[in-house]
Structure 1
């Protein structure tokens, strides 16, 4: 690479916006050059934190020929509009999950990036973690037999008040219009795509139970159950109201597997297995796709199916019914 790619941040709505801005500054192939946000308070503060210019004019920023790509961490409800506009301007896109509020919008975004020859990747980080690689190898080896049950739980306590304060997760994460959904739609994306990876991307049925422990407007405690044609059951758990170790449990006809990030311990039965280092993260993959002219086929396919399952789970929770997956 002759010179770093110039990258702009679009939106500081999401709590991970600073993480991706920091990655942009740290990666040798990228340079952070600008920030846009339609909320001047968020945008100017973010720009000041990283020592770059702020603008509230998205069209002007996207018209800049010196900007190669954008990281998008806007509210979820405007993902389609912002990403299609960025794609039409020829800007490569790295985005926070969820890709879009609907499958149709997710597919529209991908079609726009393909039509304009720009590279898109969605942040699905746990796909590339070492324990995920090791678990896939165990499944592929047949040691567990036919998988018939899987449970993945991820939670933090961001919704809970502490020392008289509302909770470290900002209230905008509980606004139905912009956030689209609560714990399941945000943090629950990680257990969703891991369950789809281990048990299959297309279950037959989805049911869901959502509750709000802190009462901040959207669910902060969620359980989703996926039923598969091969009779396997997947249980997806996400919460903003408890701090627990991240856990994975897989049960098969020949054995069991457990993983916890409390000590980074992976076991098949009583045997502890080594956990390899993480592979290249999504941001690094994005830079490589840009420089090598390749497409993130697997990532984009999984991002669409993630959207499909989250949309179905939200419908199941709202209606109180088991929903056929479509």
Structure 2
């Protein structure tokens, strides 16, 4: 029977991937193994799996014993798919190692630490493994029903032709933050720090919602808090190939938990607008979508304005995992997780970090790596 393994037993594996596996129930293959560089972390993750009701307990693999290291895990014929949730700089090598071992791969975003290494990684996959193995990138914002619903409403012309947009996401990161305390994030060996690790979510959401790809940007990046090196803030003006433009504000350097700006996405068209923002309602996370549009009569004259509010559950990790497993089984209901699309998210962040006000061609960056 085909089985699943998790490579990386950190916070997100325990708080997101394990609950997603449990929520899928019989629609997910059994979780057969958990790997971490340290035995303690692997044990903690496996114990958390059983506490959620995932049975039997997954086997533990770690680097401290050759009989139970990563090579030993890859040698198991019953482990057919792996979720890779390791530090950003380690992921490309582990993805290739998993593919070489004949495993289907769902790897956490970002697809790679930078555009050049992402291009090379995708090239190797397409040339050597694509014909018989599935590799998808886990960008859960792309899978969120709220962002996907907004994209469908825009395609259905509910706000007319898109004219401009704005995405504002600000975060206050303290040194006590559980993600900051992760050693590989405290002293990041990759560009952008939290801007790369978390900023790709915002760009993934925009490419899911907007009807045309983003093609150019001019941006400035800065560091406002020394412990968030190398950068914590990007402000960008962006152009699309659909002849509309917008503003993207990304910061992990807000000074307080309470921010003067509400995190949200606003897409404006010739006939209305859509807003999206995350909320907690009845102790559950939802993505609130507000559609405000003009109603016209048969002669095209404005009659009134209407507003619809939808609170859609936040289940992106579960949805991305389900989509990956469907693809492995030879089916696909949601076309998500394409590594090339995930590379566009990395390209946006890389361009934003390096632009310094100069216009950057995002399409050229993705195809040429410069």
Q: Which one of the candidate residues 211, 226, 249 is aligned to 1:237?
A: 249
Structure 1 residue 320, shift from structure 2 partner: 5.3
Does the 8 Å contact 2:35/2:62 carry over to 1? Answer: yes
Q: Match for residue 167 of structure 1?
A: 177
Q: CA RMSD in A?
A: 3.0
Q: SS of 2:230's equivalent?
A: coil
State how far apart, in whole Å, the 2-side matches of 1:298 and 1:282 are: 7
State how far apart, in whole Å, the 2-side matches of 1:34 and 1:7 are: 7
Q: Which one of the candidate residues 347, 358, 365 is aligned to 1:321?
A: 358
Structure 1 residue 123, shift from structure 2 partner: 1.7
Aligned length: 314
Q: Match for residue 277 of structure 2?
A: 260
Q: Match for residue 306 of structure 2?
A: 271
State how far apart, in whole Å, the 1-side matches of 2:333 and 2:81 are: 15
Q: Match for residue 176 of structure 1?
A: 188
Q: SS of 1:275's equivalent?
A: strand
Q: Look at both structures and tell me which one has the larger radius of gyration over its CA atoms.
A: 2
State how far apart, in whole Å, the 2-side matches of 1:243 and 1:121 are: 36
Q: Match for residue 54 of structure 2?
A: none
Q: Which one of the candidate residues 142, 158, 174 is aligned to 2:157?
A: 142
Q: Match for residue 187 of structure 1?
A: 198
State how far apart, in whole Å, the 2-side matches of 1:296 and 1:84 are: 25
Does the 8 Å contact 1:7/1:24 carry over to 2? Answer: no
State how far apart, in whole Å, the 2-side matches of 1:117 and 1:323 are: 36
State how far apart, in whole Å, the 1-side matches of 2:167 and 2:134 are: 30
Structure 1 residue 323, shift from structure 2 partner: 2.0
Unaligned residue ranges in structure 2 (runs of 5+): 50-56, 64-68, 282-287, 294-304, 365-370
Residue 12 of structure 1 pairs with residue 47 of structure 2: no
Does the 8 Å contact 1:90/1:116 carry over to 2? Answer: no
Residue 154 to residue 30, structure 1, CA distance change in 2 (3 Å): farther
Does the 8 Å contact 1:97/1:123 carry over to 2? Answer: yes
State how far apart, in whole Å, the 2-side matches of 1:149 and 1:24 are: 38
Residue 109 to residue 39, structure 1, CA distance change in 2 (3 Å): farther
Q: Match for residue 90 of structure 2?
A: 78
Q: Match for residue 20 of structure 2?
A: 23
State how far apart, in whole Å, the 2-side matches of 1:225 and 1:176 are: 26
Q: Match for residue 58 of structure 1?
A: 70
TM-score normalised by length of structure 1: 0.82
Q: SS of 2:152's equivalent?
A: helix
Unaligned residue ranges in structure 1 (runs of 5+): none
Kindly report which structure 2 residues correspond to 1:95-114, keeping only aligned pairs within 5 A, or say none: 95-101=107-113, 102=115, 103-108=118-123, 110-111=125-126, 114=129
State how far apart, in whole Å, the 2-side matches of 1:227 and 1:265 are: 24
Q: Which one of the candidate residues 247, 259, 281 is aligned to 2:319?
A: 281
Structure 1 residue 246, shift from structure 2 partner: 4.2
State how far apart, in whole Å, the 1-side matches of 2:48 and 2:127 are: 32
Residue 93 to residue 31, structure 1, CA distance change in 2 (3 Å): same
Residue 132 to residue 61, structure 1, CA distance change in 2 (3 Å): same
Q: Match for residue 33 of structure 2?
A: 34
Structure 1 residue 214, shift from structure 2 partner: 6.2
Q: SS of 2:20's equivalent?
A: helix
Structure 1 residue 134, shift from structure 2 partner: 3.0
